[in-house]
Structures are given as structure tokens and as C-alpha cells.
């Protein structure tokens, strides 16, 4: 019988898990050496500690064949969450957990808290939420401390502190008298006022009434603050911390808030059918914006005028695979799935400060990669972009030539003159503030009632973002309705892109409005409380049709042909 371990196989065979636990308990109780060895083993292995011994409680299972109290067997993203928390502690860096609803994140953080309480002598862990009853209310499984009590009382005796008694778990305080470790709770504006902590968890921290007061208190009392929440709009402290943080890829980025994302699609029990059913129910109830916030993690759910809705972006992820299964597209996607053909790339140049450079590359309609880096030197940016593209074959690279981006042209010319330009790469100037292309053509091709481009768009930036919107719209309809389009008019996002979730968020960040002077369409890439969507800007340039006059004005030919 295999030991319980992290799995994405669902549903879990809980009978088998209970049987394994009973068998292990009999072994451990029969041999003192095994008892000591087991305690030592779990002292450095929080994932195994949770999978082997921690229980949760879900009253929704009452009256079903699944017990209300059942083992917590981590699925893959929960396993990664435990490792994320462990890494934050070891590096003494704060973290932020952005989650969809009902991902078990609070239970996992509680289980990790209990592991610290047992195995880290003298540790002091803090928990806070916006209301006292959410922190601790006896008998309420939704409260944090009742979760902690459920976990502790469900552990085998050999893991509990010597002499431990139930009265060591009082209101908003749990004490390990053997090691001096404590878990304490606070609520509202009092969060952070209870003294120094090894680590402090702020549950649902995007929903606090006066978060700045809490930040002031916590900053002096812990180095490791973990914000745990579903999203709740733009511009609040949680959102600003998330925007300034570094998304977790397995390694800690010093000096930054480490951002860990738990999307609904990470849960093995939730598939597209589950999502569609829940979303349809939300639409029927008039709660689409709530669904978008709490399930889709859409910070801008209540923001009007989003150019590219998040559901369109999600539909584009691996859309070539989805479409290849539809009869109308059978065979049409084969060439694009073969990873062949010429490349087009977009380069967004960092403006300074904490801004980053971003490079996006596509083959036909498929976005193959997006990467970003923080070099401030424009010459370094140009060379780095070329180095990222040199093994791809012929590549047209459109770069933002406004402001600091003007230095890219100078460095590209220098690489051409010195023979340092990789073979097949051509830099093409792109100006967001330029006049619209094809000014006398209609916004809707063939519709004479549609306005002309020059009358509808304020500048090239607005035109390019709108055209990218159209690509996403066509892809969404192709995926969801099976409508036939020319594949070259679609956009497909490869799910293998490392920064996929950040890219998805950036693509749905920009909003549209009207110029106060001309009433033409304008784009606001940075709604209040957001950072510049550098990767999304690079994608916009990568999908904008190459204007040959801009290319010939720069070089007249592709890079070093020798």
C-alpha cells in the first residue's frame, strides 16, 4: 500500500489513506526507535507531515459518502504552496498568495503553521483577519483557530508536544509549553500589535478596512508577512504589493514580495465544465463581477471599458490544440502546431526605475515566448533582444522607438556596422504615438457605415490594441462557438510560457476611453494602481503588421547575411 503523497489524481481514495495511517501507527507504537525516527523525519519535511497526518473538516460533505473530516492530501499546487512558505521563511522574505475561491489555501497555511508549532522551538506565528469571529470562534470551522484545533487534535499522539492538553488551546492562542512555540490571533486594526513574530499570516487581506494602519504595526514586528486573499479591486494595499512583487518560479527574489498564484484551474477537481457551470450561474444571478474577482482573480472586474476581457485571453491559451479537435479546423492548424515558419517579435523598452524590458515572439498566430529583464542600458537591451532571437531564423523585431527606445536604433545600427548583428534579425521602428495606419479604410472591413480608421483611433497605440482585441475576440468565438476564421487572424498563447499568469493579467489590464479633444478611441494601459503592462505591450507590437517603410528606413535588409 503506497504512502499518501502529493497527487493530482482525483477523487482521492480516502479509505486507502486511512488504512495506511492505521498501519503506520501500529508500527510506530510498537518500536520506540521508529517513533523517534518518525519525529526526526517530519521535522524537516512539512509536505510529508501534511500528507501523512493532517486532517481537514468540510461540513459540505455531511450526509454524503465522503466523510466531513478527512485527510488533507495535497494536490500539486498546494504542495508547491508549502514549499513556497518554507522558502519564504528560510530567506526571511515576505510573500503574497493570490488565490481563487475554495482552493484550500487557508487550510494548507494552517497545516504549515502547526508544523512550525511542533518542530520549530520558540517559533511565534501570528494570524489575523478583518473580524474577530473570522480569526476564532469556538465550533465554527470557518474560523482560522478552529481549523488549527481540528488539525492538532487530529494528529497522532507521538507528534504532539509532551504533556499537551486541550486547555493549551485557548481563545486566539495556542501554546507548545514543551518548546515555547506559540500561535496567536488578532483582528482588524489590532493586527500586528501583539509583539514580534517569526511569520504573520493575514487572511483575506485584500478586504481590510484600514490596511495602512496594519502595515505600520506589522512592519516592526515581523520580517515575514504572508498576505493571503482573493482579489478585491485595484489600488488597495494587497493589489499594490502584488504589482510590486516577483511572481514565484521556484526561487526567492531578494528584496521583493514573493507572489504565489493559485488559479481555479490548478485544482484537479475543477475542469472547464465546472467553470462554465459556475459562471453561467453567476450570470443568471447578476453576479458576473463577483465571479470574475473571486474565481478568475480579475482585479479589474468592476472596472469599465476593459479592452480585452480575461475570458477571451483564457480562450486563447493553447487554442490551436482546442481548434484542431473541431471539424471545421481539422487540418488547418497542423502547420501552426509544427513549430515552423518565420518569426515576428515585439520589444518594449524599459522607461527607468523599476520598469522592465519585455520581449515577445510569435510564429504565425502562436505566441511562443514572452520574457522580461531589468537592464536600464538601452544598448544592453538591444543586444539582449538580438541574443534571444538569434537561433530562430529570420525575425522581424518591432521595437518601441519612442523616448528611451530611440537608443535601440543606434545600437542596432552599431551591431550592423560591426558585423555583430545575428543573421536573420531585422529591427523595425514602431511608434505608439504615430498616426493610424490605413487611415481611409473602415474599422469594420466592408461596412460602409463603419467609421474610418482616422476618425475612430486617436493614434497607432489605440489601433494596435484594438486589433489585438479583435484577434482575441475571433479566437474566443472560434473556441467557444466553432466559428471558422482564417487562422492567421487569430491569436494563440502557448501554455508553456513561463510567465503565463502574469501575461494573462497584463493583457486584460488596459482600458479604453475617448479623447477629450477629438472623442477618438484612446488606450489607458495603466489604470489607477497598476504597473505598466510591459509584456502585453511587447505582444501588441509582435502582432501588429510590419510596415515595410519603417524597416527599410532602419536597415533596408535583414541582419548580417554572411
pLDDT tens figures, 513-559: 888 777 788 888 877 767 889 999 999 999 998 765 444 334 333 34
User: For residues 257 and 244, is the Cβ–Cβ distance under 8 A?
Assistant: yes
User: How many C-beta neighbours within 10 Å does residue 372 have?
Assistant: 18
The CA distance from 251 to 229, in Å, is 22
pLDDT at residue 353, as a whole number: 64
User: For residues 346 and 538, is the Cβ–Cβ distance under 8 A?
Assistant: yes
Decide if 192 is inside a domain. Answer: yes
Decide if 21 is inside a domain. Answer: yes
Residue 261's Cβ-side half-sphere holds a number of Cα atoms within 13 Å equal to: 24
**Which range (182-196, 269-283, 474-488, 520-534) has the least confidence?**
520-534
The CA distance from 279 to 309, in Å, is 14
Give the pLDDT mean for 16-39: 91
Residue 243 scores a pLDDT above 70? yes
Query: What is the side-by-side strand order in the sheet with 395-400?
Result: 425-430, 395-400, 343-348, 357-363, 366-373, 492-493
Query: Alpha-carbon dihedral of residues 292, 295, 297, 298, nearest 10 degrees?
Result: -10
Block residue for cell numbers 473571486: 294
Decide if 112 is inside a domain. Answer: yes
pLDDT at residue 557, as a whole number: 37
User: For residues 162 and 177, is the Cβ–Cβ distance under 8 A?
Assistant: no
pLDDT band of 337, cuts 50, 70, 90: low
- Domain termination site, one of 231, 266, 301: 266
Decide if 198 is inside a domain. Answer: yes
Can you give the pTM of this predicted structure? 0.74
The CA distance from 421 to 412, in Å, is 7
More confident residue, 562 or 229: 229
Decide if 289 is inside a domain. Answer: no
Cell numbers of 122, please? 520558540
The CA distance from 236 to 204, in Å, is 13
Residues 91 and 153 reside in one and the same domain: yes
The CA distance from 530 to 405, in Å, is 22
Block residue for cell numbers 504589493: 241
Decide if 2 is inside a domain. Answer: no
CATH number at residue 78: 3.40.50.300
Decide if 327 is inside a domain. Answer: yes
Rounded to an integer, what is the distance from CA 532 to the centroid of its chain?
Answer: 16
Q: 196: domain range? A: 14-266
pLDDT tens figures, 102-136: 999 999 999 999 999 999 999 999 999 999 999 99
- Domain termination site, one of 266, 290, 324: 266
Block residue for cell numbers 498546494: 78
Residues 144 and 24 reside in one and the same domain: yes
Q: How far apart are the first and last CA of the chain?
A: 63
pLDDT band of 42, cuts 50, 70, 90: very high
Residues 114 and 229 reside in one and the same domain: yes
Cell numbers of 475, please? 479566437
Residues 487 and 374 reside in one and the same domain: yes
pLDDT band of 303, cuts 50, 70, 90: low
Residues 222 and 366 reside in one and the same domain: no
- Domain termination site, one of 266, 287, 306: 266
The CA distance from 55 to 269, in Å, is 19
Residues 191 and 261 reside in one and the same domain: yes
**How many domains does the chain fold into?**
2
Residue 393 scores a pLDDT above 50? yes
CATH number at residue 402: 3.30.420.240
Decide if 282 is inside a domain. Answer: no
Residues 255 and 342 reside in one and the same domain: no
Residues 248 and 341 reside in one and the same domain: no
Contacts of 549 (CB under 8 A, 6+ apart): none
Cell numbers of 27, please? 508500527
Amino acid at each position: 500500500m503506497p504512502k499518501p503523497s502529493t497527487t493530482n489524481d482525483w477523487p482521492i481514495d480516502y479509505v486507502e489513506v486511512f488504512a495506511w495511517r492505521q498501519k503506520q501507527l501500529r508500527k510506530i507504537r510498537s518500536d520506540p526507535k521508529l517513533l523517534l525516527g518518525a519525529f526526526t523525519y517530519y521535522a524537516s519535511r512539512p509536505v510529508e507531515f501534511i500528507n501523512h497526518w493532517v486532517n481537514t473538516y468540510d461540513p459540505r460533505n455531511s450526509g454524503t459518502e465522503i466523510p466531513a473530516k478527512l485527510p488533507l492530501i495535497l494536490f500539486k499546487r498546494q504542495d508547491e504552496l508549502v514549499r513556497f512558505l518554507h522558502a519564504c521563511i528560510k530567506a526571511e522574505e515576505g510573500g503574497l498568495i493570490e488565490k481563487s475561491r475554495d482552493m484550500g489555501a487557508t487550510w494548507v497555511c494552517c497545516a504549515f503553521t502547526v508544523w512550525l508549532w511542533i518542530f520549530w522551538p520558540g517559533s511565534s506565528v501570528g494570524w489575523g483577519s478583518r473580524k474577530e469571529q473570522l480569526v476564532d470562534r469556538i465550533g465554527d470551522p470557518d474560523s482560522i483557530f478552529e481549523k488549527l484545533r481540528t488539525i492538532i487534535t487530529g494528529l497522532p499522539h507521538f507528534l504532539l508536544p509532551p504533556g499537551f492538553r486541550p486547555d493549551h488551546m485557548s481563545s486566539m492562542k495556542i501554546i507548545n509549553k514543551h518548546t515555547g512555540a506559540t500561535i496567536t490571533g488578532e483582528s482588524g486594526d489590532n493586527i500586528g500589535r501583539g509583539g514580534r513574530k517569526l511569520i504573520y499570516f493575514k487572511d483575506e487581506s485584500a478586504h481590510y478596512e484600514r490596511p495602512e494602519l496594519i502595515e505600520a504595526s506589522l512592519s516592526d514586528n515581523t520580517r515575514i508577512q504572508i498576505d493571503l486573499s482573493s482579489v478585491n479591486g485595484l489600488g488597495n494595499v494587497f493589489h499594490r504589493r502584488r504589482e510590486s512583487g516577483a511572481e514565484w518560479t521556484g526561487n526567492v527574489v531578494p528584496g521583493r514580495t514573493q507572489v504565489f498564484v493559485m488559479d481555479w484551474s490548478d485544482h484537479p477537481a475543477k475542469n472547464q465544465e465546472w467553470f462554465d457551470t459556475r459562471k453561467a450561474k453567476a450570470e443568471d444571478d447578476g453576479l458576473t463581477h463577483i465571479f470574475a474577482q473571486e474565481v478568475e482573480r480579475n482585479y479589474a472586474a468592476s472596472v469599465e471599458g476593459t479592452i480585452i476581457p480575461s475570458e477571451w485571453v483564457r480562450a486563447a491559451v493553447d487554442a490551436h490544440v482546442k481548434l484542431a479537435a473541431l471539424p471545421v479546423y481539422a487540418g488547418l492548424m497542423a502547420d501552426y502546431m509544427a513549430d515552423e515558419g518565420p518569426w515576428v517579435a515585439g520589444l518594449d523598452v524599459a522607461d527607468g526605475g523599476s520598469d522592465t524590458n519585455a520581449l515577445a515572439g510569435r510564429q504565425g498566430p502562436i505566441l511562443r515566448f514572452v520574457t522580461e529583464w531589468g537592464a536600464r542600458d538601452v544598448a544592453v537591451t538591444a543586444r539582449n533582444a538580438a541574443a534571444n532571437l538569434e537561433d530562430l531564423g529570420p525575425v522581424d523585431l518591432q521595437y518601441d522607438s519612442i523616448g528611451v527606445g530611440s537608443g535601440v536604433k543606434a545600437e542596432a545600427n552599431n551591431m550592423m556596422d560591426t558585423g555583430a548583428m545575428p543573421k536573420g534579425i531585422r529591427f523595425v521602428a514602431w511608434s505608439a504615438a504615430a498616426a493610424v495606419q490605413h487611415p481611409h479604410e473602415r474599422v469594420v472591413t466592408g461596412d460602409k457605415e463603419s467609421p474610418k480608421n482616422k476618425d475612430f483611433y486617436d493614434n497607432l497605440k489605440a489601433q494596435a490594441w484594438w486589433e489585438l482585441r479583435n484577434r482575441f475576440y475571433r479566437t474566443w468565438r472560434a473556441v467557444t462557438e466553432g466559428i471558422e476564421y482564417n487562422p492567421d487572424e487569430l491569436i494563440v498563447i502557448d501554455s508553456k510560457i513561463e510567465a503565463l499568469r502574469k501575461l494573462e493579467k497584463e493583457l486584460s489590464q488596459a482600458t479604453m476611453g475617448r479623447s477629450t479633444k477629438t472623442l477618438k478611441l484612446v488606450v489607458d494601459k495603466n489604470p489607477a494602481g497598476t504597473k505598466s503592462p510591459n509584456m502585453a505591450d511587447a505582444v501588441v507590437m509582435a502582432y501588429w503588421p510590419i510596415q515595410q517603410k519603417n524597416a527599410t528606413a532602419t536597415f533596408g535588409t535583414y541582419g548580417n547575411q554572411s
